[in-house]
Amino acid sequence: MNIIVIGCGRVGAELASRLFFRNNKVTVVDQNAAAFDNLHPDFRGHLVEGEALNQDVLIRAGVEGADGLAAVTNSDSLNAVVAHIAQSVYNILNVVARNYDPSWRPYYDSFDLQIVGSSSWGAQRIEELLYHKELRSVFSAGNGEIEIYEFTIPASWNGKRFVDLTINLQCHLVSITRVGVATLPDEDGIFKTGDIVLVSATMNGIQDLQKRLASNKEI
């Protein structure tokens, strides 16, 4: 793939290097030439020094033939505008913007941009690890609004119905693994001690689920 990375700070440099070592054609744009020193020593992509809002800079970076663009500077206004231009003017379908300040989220949403909010997502993950050490997050959707958690059914829930676990909560059963075989949950299913369960849930949902499990005996 031909990918443009706007911004060569810590996030941009790491992203560009990862993409390059996966055999993508990578162009990095930054207005500060010294920022390119953040790249891996073996990075051999294309470097473009200049302001990303300048059309000539974008054209030199190959925006007209790019398969994807990631705007990952620490300026939300720059990320939002460049990502919007890439999507609406140059018709790049695969565009991702970094949301640096969570208060800027509505502006990205107004442009219908795909974003990664590192501050919001990171804070939520740390909160989850502090609260839910027994329930392990294995997948995060969006910016962490919905996550999939894995945990083991305790003896206190042996014989209880699948539906009793998540009813009236903001979470859903995804799968049940028993003696190494995974199945989709059904309405008549019964838990056995040691079942490995995957659930999708919001933050509130997983907190309520943990309380429900602990109402008999903690995991």
∠ CA 113-173-162, nearest 5°, is 165
Q: Are 43 and 57 in contact (CB under 8 A)?
A: no
∠ CA 195-198-199, nearest 5°, is 130
Pull the structure tokens for residue 133. Answer: 């050490």
Q: What does the domain layout of the chain look like in residue ranges?
A: 2-116, 121-214
Pull the structure tokens for residue 205. Answer: 């949902």
Pull the structure tokens for residue 192. Answer: 């056995």
Name the CATH topology of 2-116.
Answer: Rossmann fold (3.40.50)
- What is the pLDDT of the chain when averaged over all its residues? 90
Domain range 121-214, its CATH number among 3.90.230.10, 3.30.70.1450, 3.30.479.10, 3.40.50.1360:
3.30.70.1450
Is the CA virtual torsion 129, 135, 136, 140 positive or negative? negative
What's the pLDDT tens digit per position in 155-197? 999 999 999 999 999 999 999 999 889 999 998 899 999 999 9
Instruction: Determine the length of the chain.
Output: 219
Is 0.85 topped by the overall pTM?
Answer: no
Please compute the mean of the pLDDT values over residues 136-159 and round it to a whole number. Answer: 86
Nearest CA to 100 out of 77, 81, 119, 82 is that of 119
Place of tokens 């903690």: 218
pLDDT tops 70 at residue 131: no
Query: What's the confidence (pLDDT) of residue 180?
Result: 86
